[in-house]
Every structure is written in structure tokens, then in C-alpha cells.
């Protein structure tokens, strides 16, 4: 339940093993590759000369270069995608990742597949052409004439074509000016078929004339003699042969996918993985014999990664603890019960590597806040069931909804509320609507407790970040805690409760804390000898407004938690309104429908409002005191076969 400690893994290994080493690291999803050049610049790859092997390794550091794109690997990935498209494979299951073998003869496999792909493409194109020509010859199936004899005249050009209605009308008007014989030969399926014969010397002129008539040529480009019926028989045979070839190709594809699926998938996965390997190589450097890589890894994964690397010969690995000036990625380690709440954490911002993981605290407090404001056994059960259903599509949000529903159910049992009714179940605690003052007072006391914990967490986080002066003098630091308790003490005295100290001492503590806050810059400069970045005038003007904001935010933060009690009371009151409407209607099923409608409105509308209000208290009243959220998430590199 914390931010896992990170280490920078610097490793050096022979170039011959590079692809396999990268693949093995990608498989375990435990490392985030970063620029090895930056680590080389900081001398983190210098090896002790106590080991004789390190002499050559240190000499190799004089020949460092970066990797250029490997055209062969890119071509391998491209070929894999061509094959997947040919075989109509959308994705490759993750189960084949562990079976990837980079020693497979990809070239041999591709040539076999390429032969089938080329043949399939050519056969489909031939079939399309034959079918098109076949359709044209069908227009002349009743013409008992050898079309090849007409088409192959020496001094005349013969063209068959189709004219629309407008073209036919223009043709009739232009007969006297056209140097050609044009005959109407047939009407088939509303198509008017014409035959045009003209001297070869008139080719250009007739092209222009026929174009003006919207003439559409009929392709009869088959070098066969005979009538249209005879040629159609030959075309039909050709069509059958081509379809047989396509059927054989499809049978090959089906057999390959069905009977040799595992081997096929492993081969394709092995080809596709080169895309990720090439992406990773952008972060690597190399010398004549070795390659160098740097990765962020969690301490829990050090042994696993070390075992992977030391399985290869001539490998050197170092795991370096990051310096204070370095900001490593954040890797959260939480119990499964708390994990869905990481969604709310990341909505605000990823935790800084050097601050406490707020997930457990947010999970517990958020559930209490939501449950307290929306305490109902029946409606909470609806949330819980909705979460179970939603988890199938959105695991984190569905499980978050389940926990919200569980909290609502628990408080529903405490309040004795079931679908808004408070006369069915006897509460184990008290009923907010019948104890309004008690509800509001408990809400404020609960808020004070949460704010105090938030102040403590804020101080601890500042100390972890080595911000000692901020931990003491900030309005969210120790001085803020003094003002916070002094204001609570004054409030208790004013309200008639007995505070720990009188109001005079409380005011003195507030004034002292404000003065120390404004003098923070001067104290820090005197102790650290640092020169401030902004002028004294600007600092003190800004500081004066900061003091006012500190007083107002402290007061408003305490009062803000009244909403917890207010919504607990409102939850019952809203249902009473619908219950009153149901009683006014009186008759069944009208009154039942009103009660059902009321519960739907409460679950949807008030559930959303309480969700937002609980989040507001977490973000603005508590996070603002202890959480920066300026880190970046640890996203390990891995091979996503489904994406590829």
C-alpha cells in the first residue's frame, strides 16, 4: 500500500543477443526503457577494473553510437501484416507471446505465402475481367455471326457500344454529318446496342463524335473466333477454372488456419514483435561488440530481471538507486480492494515518487463519505449489482461502483433505511432525519478528524521531499495545524463547549503562526544562505494575501463537512416527498409507480450528486493539504499483440 521503490537498471550485453534480450524483458512487463545515452553521460556504465573482462568493456565505451532503423525488421513487420490481411486474421492472442521464436526462417515462410497471395490477386483480377467480358458477350448471344471477322478488318474499325436516350436523339440529328455506318443491333435489358463501322483514318474524329453522343464501348477483347454463343461457352469454362483455383487457395488458407494454427500464430507473432523491438532500440546505444540499455524497474522485479539477463553470456547489470534530483516514475502497490480507487487518484494526478500513496486513505474516507451521505440498504444494493454488471466492460469503474454500493448498504443498515423506507429495518445507530443536530455535529467532528490527518500527511510528504521549511511554515504545514486547532478551540468556546485553551491564547497562537509564515522567506535565507528569486516587496504582498487565504480556507474547510450531514438528512427528505405524492394518489398501482420512480430519481440524481460531493471533499479539502499529484505513472514496455 505504497509507492514502490524504483531502480535504474543499466545493462550491457553482446549485440548478437540484443533482440532476444529485449524480447525477454518485454515479455515480463516489468521495465520501462529510457535513454541509455543519458546514463552513459553520467558515467553509470563504467565498470570496475578488478574484473579483467571489464578492461575491454571500458575500452568499448569510446565507440558509442545510436541505432539506425533496421529496414529488414520493418519489412518483416510489413510482411506479417500482409499475411494477416490475406488470411483475414484480426489479432493474435497473448498466449502465443511466450512461444515467440526469433530464429524462425521468416523468408522461407513469406515466400510460400507470397506465392499464394500473388496467385490469389492475379486470379481474382482475371476472374473479374472474364466476368465483365462475359456480360458484354451476352449482349450478342442472339447474333449468329463470327465477331472476330468483323473486328479484324484491315481498313475499317468496328466498335460495339451502348447509347442512352439523349445519345440516340443526337445521333438521328447528326446522321448526315457522320462519316460512319452506325447500325442498331439489339435492345437488351433497356440497353440499346449499336454497331459503328468507319475508316481507320477517321479514328480521331469518330472518337470525338462518339464521345459527344455518350457512347459506351462494349469490350469484346477476346482473341477467339466464333459466334458470341461459342465464345461464351469458352469464357464459362475459363470462369469455372479460375473459381476452382480460388477455391484451392481458400482451402489452403482454411487448412493453414485450422490444422497449423499454433505454428502460424507463433510465426506471425515472431514477425510482429520486431515492431516493438525497433521502437525500444531508439532508447539504446551500441559500441562495436555490445549494446547498452537503461530501464526503470521496481525493486520487486530486480531478481526476475537479473535472472533473465544473466542467462546470457558476457552480460553486466547494475541496479542504481535514484538520486534526490531525479524524479522516477510512480508504481503503485495496493491491495486489490483499494486498486479501483486508483482511478480517482489518477483523475487528479499521479502521485509523486517521493510522497505517500494516498490511495488507501482516499479509499477508506471516500467510502465513508459516500455511505454516510447515501446510506440506504436497497439503493446501495442497486449500486453494487450495477457495479458487477459494469465491471464486465470497465473493470476499475465497475469495481469502484461495487465498493460505493457496499458502503451505502452498510450505512443503510446503521440508519435503518431500505429504498427510502425507515419503518422496515431497525437501525443499528441512529436515524439522521430524526436527529438533525446530532447528524450535523457528527459530520463536523468527522471532518475535523479527516482534516487533521490530511495536515499530518502533508507534513510527512514535505519531509519526504526534503522540503523542511515548507513542512514547518506553510499554511498546510505545522503552522497550518496550529491555526487549525486554534480556530477549532475558538469555535468550541463560542458555541458553549469547553475548549482546551481560552480564546486569548488561541488568538495569540494564530497571530504567532501567521507572523512565522510571513517570515518564512527571511528565516530560510538566513539558514540556507540562498538568495530569493523574487523581490521582498512582491513576496510580502503575495504573503499578505496568502495569510488571508489561509484563514478563510481553514474556516471554510471545517464548515464544508456539514454537507455530509446535510445530504444524509436530505436523502430521507427527498424520499418523503415521493412518499407523500404516493399517498395522495392512494390507489394501486399508481402509488407503487410513484415510489419506484422516486427511487430511480434518488439513485440516479442524488447518487451522482453525492458522488461529486464526496470527490469534492477529497480533492479540495483534503488533497489540497497533502497531495501534489505531479508524478508520472510507471508504464512498463511490453508487446501488445492485439494492438499490432
Question: In whole angstroms, what is the distance from residue 320 CA to residue 94 CA?
Answer: 32
- Report how many helices (DSSP H) and strands (DSSP E) the chain contains, helices first: 25, 12
- Looking at the predicted structure, is the pLDDT value of residue 635 above 90? yes
Q: Which of 208, 226, 244 marks a domain boundary?
A: 226
Query: What is the pLDDT at residue 622?
Result: 92
Contact 2, 333 (CB under 8 A): yes
Reply yes or no on whether the pLDDT at 413 is more than 90.
yes
pLDDT at 254 over 70: yes
546-554 mean pLDDT = 80
Residue 439: inside a domain, yes or no?
Answer: yes
Question: 302 and 170, same structural domain?
Answer: no
Instruction: Cell numbers for 241, please give them.
Output: 477454372
Residues 6+ apart with CB under 8 A from 229: 141
Which residues span the domain enclosing 211? 145-226
**Once rounded to an integer, what is the mean pLDDT over residues 513-534?**
77
What confidence score (pLDDT) does residue 306 get? 94
3-class secondary-structure state, position 65 = strand
Band the pLDDT of 285: cuts 50, 70, 90.
Answer: very high
**Rounded distance between C-alpha atoms, residue 46 and residue 52, angstroms:** 13
The span from the CA of 8 to the CA of 25, in Å, is 14
Both 467 and 499 in a single domain?
A: yes
pLDDT of residue 299: 94
Residue 61, pLDDT score: 81
Confidence at 533, pLDDT banded by 50, 70, 90: low
* Residue 336 near residue 1, CB atoms below 8 Å: no
Residues 347 and 220 occupy one common structural domain: no
Mind listing the pLDDT tens digit for each residue in 557-613? 888 999 999 999 988 888 888 888 888 887 778 788 888 888 899 999 999 999 999
Domain assignment of residue 526, yes or no: yes
Share above pLDDT 90 across residues of the chain, in percent, rounded to a whole number? 37
Question: Is 612 found in the same domain as 551?
Answer: yes
pLDDT value of position 51: 67
Residue 445 CA to residue 404 CA, distance in Å, equals 22
- What is the band of 412 on the pLDDT scale with cuts at 50, 70, 90? very high
Q: Is residue 459 part of a domain?
A: yes
Q: Is residue 30 part of a domain?
A: yes
- Residue 210 and residue 193 share a domain: yes
DSSP output for 162-193: EE-HHHHHHHHHHGGG-SSEEEEEEEETTEEE
Q: d(Cα 463, Cα 457) in Å, to the nearest integer?
A: 10
Contact 594/602 with Cβ under 8 angstroms?
no
Residue 296 has pLDDT above 90, yes or no: yes
The model's pLDDT over 221-245, given as tens digits with 9 standing for 90+, comes to 656 677 777 778 888 888 899 999 9
CA distance 461 to 357: 10
Region 380-395 average pLDDT: 92
- Does one domain contain both 499 and 364? yes
Torsion, CA 618, CA 620, CA 622, CA 627, rounded to 10: 100
Contact yes or no for 366/403 (Cβ under 8 A):
no
Rounded CA separation 408/614 (Å): 13
Domain co-membership, 570 together with 613: yes
421 - beta bridge partners?
Answer: 418
Cα(132)–Cα(148) distance, integer angstroms: 18
Q: Say yes or no: 403 and 364 in one domain.
A: yes
> CA 513, CA 509: separation in Å to the nearest integer?
6
The mean pLDDT value of the chain amounts to 86
**Does 194 have pLDDT greater than 90?**
no
Read off the pLDDT of each residue in 242-256 and give the average, rounded to a whole number.
91
Q: How confident is the model at residue 433 (pLDDT cuts 50, 70, 90)?
A: confident
Dihedral, CA of residue 561, residue 563, residue 565 and residue 571, to nearest 10: -150
**CATH code assigned at 303:** 3.30.70
Do residues 387 and 398 make contact, with C-beta atoms less than 8 angstroms apart? yes
Lowest mean pLDDT among 110-119, 393-402, 590-599: 590-599
| Dihedral over alpha carbons 451, 456, 457, 461 (to 10 degrees) | 140
Reference 349, options 116, 619, 36, 549; nearest CA is 619
Tell me if 266 is assigned to some domain.
no
Tell me, yes or no, whether 269 lies in a domain: no
Count CA within 13 A, CB hemisphere, residue 15.
12
pLDDT above 90: residue 522: no
The stretch 69-92 carries a mean pLDDT of 89
- Side-chain half-sphere exposure of 470, counting CA atoms within 13 A: 13
pLDDT above 60 (res 395): yes
Give the pLDDT of residue 238.
86
Task: Report the predicted TM-score, pTM, of the whole model to 2 decimal places.
Answer: 0.77
Element of type H or E holding 211? helix 203-212
- Taken in order 102, 104, 105, 111, the sign of the CA dihedral is negative
Residue 379 C-beta-side C-alpha neighbours within 13 Å: 33
Binned at pLDDT 50, 70 and 90, residue 370 comes out as very high
Residue 633 lies in a domain: no
Please tell me the distance from the alpha carbon of residue 226 to that of residue 237, in angstroms, as a whole number: 15
Choose one of 156, 191, 226: the last residue of a domain.
Answer: 226
Which residues, at least 6 apart from 237, have a Cβ–Cβ distance to it below 8 Å? Answer: none
Which pLDDT does position 16 carry in this prediction?
A: 92
CA distance 385 to 402: 7
Query: At 326, is the secondary structure helix, strand, or coil?
Result: coil
For 320, the enclosing helix (H) or strand (E) is strand 316-320
- pLDDT category of residue 50 using cuts at 50, 70 and 90: low
Instruction: Provide the pLDDT confidence category of residue 374 given band limits of 50, 70 and 90.
Output: very high
Give the total number of structural domains in the chain: 3
pLDDT at 612: 94
Q: Is 98 a domain residue?
A: no
Amino acid at each position: 500500500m505504497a509507492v514502490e521503490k524504483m531502480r535504474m537498471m543499466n545493462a550491457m550485453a553482446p549485440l548478437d543477443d540484443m533482440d532476444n534480450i529485449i524480447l525477454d524483458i518485454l515479455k515480463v512487463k516489468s521495465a520501462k526503457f529510457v535513454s541509455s545515452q543519458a546514463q552513459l553521460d553520467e558515467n553509470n556504465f563504467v565498470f570496475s577494473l578488478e574484473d579483467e573482462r571489464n578492461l575491454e568493456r571500458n575500452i568499448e565505451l569510446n565507440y558509442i553510437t545510436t541505432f539506425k532503423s533496421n529496414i529488414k525488421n520493418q519489412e518483416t513487420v510489413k510482411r506479417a501484416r500482409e499475411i494477416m490481411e490475406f488470411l483475414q486474421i484480426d489479432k493474435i492472442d497473448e498466449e502465443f507471446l511466450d512461444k515467440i521464436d526469433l530464429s524462425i526462417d521468416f523468408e522461407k515462410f513469406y515466400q510460400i505465402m507470397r506465392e499464394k497471395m500473388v496467385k490469389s490477386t492475379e486470379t481474382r483480377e482475371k476472374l473479374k475481367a472474364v466476368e465483365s467480358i462475359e456480360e458484354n458477350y451476352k449482349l450478342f448471344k442472339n447474333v449468329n455471326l463470327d465477331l472476330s471477322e468483323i473486328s479484324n478488318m484491315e481498313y475499317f474499325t468496328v466498335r460495339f457500344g451502348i447509347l442512352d436516350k439523349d445519345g440516340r436523339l443526337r445521333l438521328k440529328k447528326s446522321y448526315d454529318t457522320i462519316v460512319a455506318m452506325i447500325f442498331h443491333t439489339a435492345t437488351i435489358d433497356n440497353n440499346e446496342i449499336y454497331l459503328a463501322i468507319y475508316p481507320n483514318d477517321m479514328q480521331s474524329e469518330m472518337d470525338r463524335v462518339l464521345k459527344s453522343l455518350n457512347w459506351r464501348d462494349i469490350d469484346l477483347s477476346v482473341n477467339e473466333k466464333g459466334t458470341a454463343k461459342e465464345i461464351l461457352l469458352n469464357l464459362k469454362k475459363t470462369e469455372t477454372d479460375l473459381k476452382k483455383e480460388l477455391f484451392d487457395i481458400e482451402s489452403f488458407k482454411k487448412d493453414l488456419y485450422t490444422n497449423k494454427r499454433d505454428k502460424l500464430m507463433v510465426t506471425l507473432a515472431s514477425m510482429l514483435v520486431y515492431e516493438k523491438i525497433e521502437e525500444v532500440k531508439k532508447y539504446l546505444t551500441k559500441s562495436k561488440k555490445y549494446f547498452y540499455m537503461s530501464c526503470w524497474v521496481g525493486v520487486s522485479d530486480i531478481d526476475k530481471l537479473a535472472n533473465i539477463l544473466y542467462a546470457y553470456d558476457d552480460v553486466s547489470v547494475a541496479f542504481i538507486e535514484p538520486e534526490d534530483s531525479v524524479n522516477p516514475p510512480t508504481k503503485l502497490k495496493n491491495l486489490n480492494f483499494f486498486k479501483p480507487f486508483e482511478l480517482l487518484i489518477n483523475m487528479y494526478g499521479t502521485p509523486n515518487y517521493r510522497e505517500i500513496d494516498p490511495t488507501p486513505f482516499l479509499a477508506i474516507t471516500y467510502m465513508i463519505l459516500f455511505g454516510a451521505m447515501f446510506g440506504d440498504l436497497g439503493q446501495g444494493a442497486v449500486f453494487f449489482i450495477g457495479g458487477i454488471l459494469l465491471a464486465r466492460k470497465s473493470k476499475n469503474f465497475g469495481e469502484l461502483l461495487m465498493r460505493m454500493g457496499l458502503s451505502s448498504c452498510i450505512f443503510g443498515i446503521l440508519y435503518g433505511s431500505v429504498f427510502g423506507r425507515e419503518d422496515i429495518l431497525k437501525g443499528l445507530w441512529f436515524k439522521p432525519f430524526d436527529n438533525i443536530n446530532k447528524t450535523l455535529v457528527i459530520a463536523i467532528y468527522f471532518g475535523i478528524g479527516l482534516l487533521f490527518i490530511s495536515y499530518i500527511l502533508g507534513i510527512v510528504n514535505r519531509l519526504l521531499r526534503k522540503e523542511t521549511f515548507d513542512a514547518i511554515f506553510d499554511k498546510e504545514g505545522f503552522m497550518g495545524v496550529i491555526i487549525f486547532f486554534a480556530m477549532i478551540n475558538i469555535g468550541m468556546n463560542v458555541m458553549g463547549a469547553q475548549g482546551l485553551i481560552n480564546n486569548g491564547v488561541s488568538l495569540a497562537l494564530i497571530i504567532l503562526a501567521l507572523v512565522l509564515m510571513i517570515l518564512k522567506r527571511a528565516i530560510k535565507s538566513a539558514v540556507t544562505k540562498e538568495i530569493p528569486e523574487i523581490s521582498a516587496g512582491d513576496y510580502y504582498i503575495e504573503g499578505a494575501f496568502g495569510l488571508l487565504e489561509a484563514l478563510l480556507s481553514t474556516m471554510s474547510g471545517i464548515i464544508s463537512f456539514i454537507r455530509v450531514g446535510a445530504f444524509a438528512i436530505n436523502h430521507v427528505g427527498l424520499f418523503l416527498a415521493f412518499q407523500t405524492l404516493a399517498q395522495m394518489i392512494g390507489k394501486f398501482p399508481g402509488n407503487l409507480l410513484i415510489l419506484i420512480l422516486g427511487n430511480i430519481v434518488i439513485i440516479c440524481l442524488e447518487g451522482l450528486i453525492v458522488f461529486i460531493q464526496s470527490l469534492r471533499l477529497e480533492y479540495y479539502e483534503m488533497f489540497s493539504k497533502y497531495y501534489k499529484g505531479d508524478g508520472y505513472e510507471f508504464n512498463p514496455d511490453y508487446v501488445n499483440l492485439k494492438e499490432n
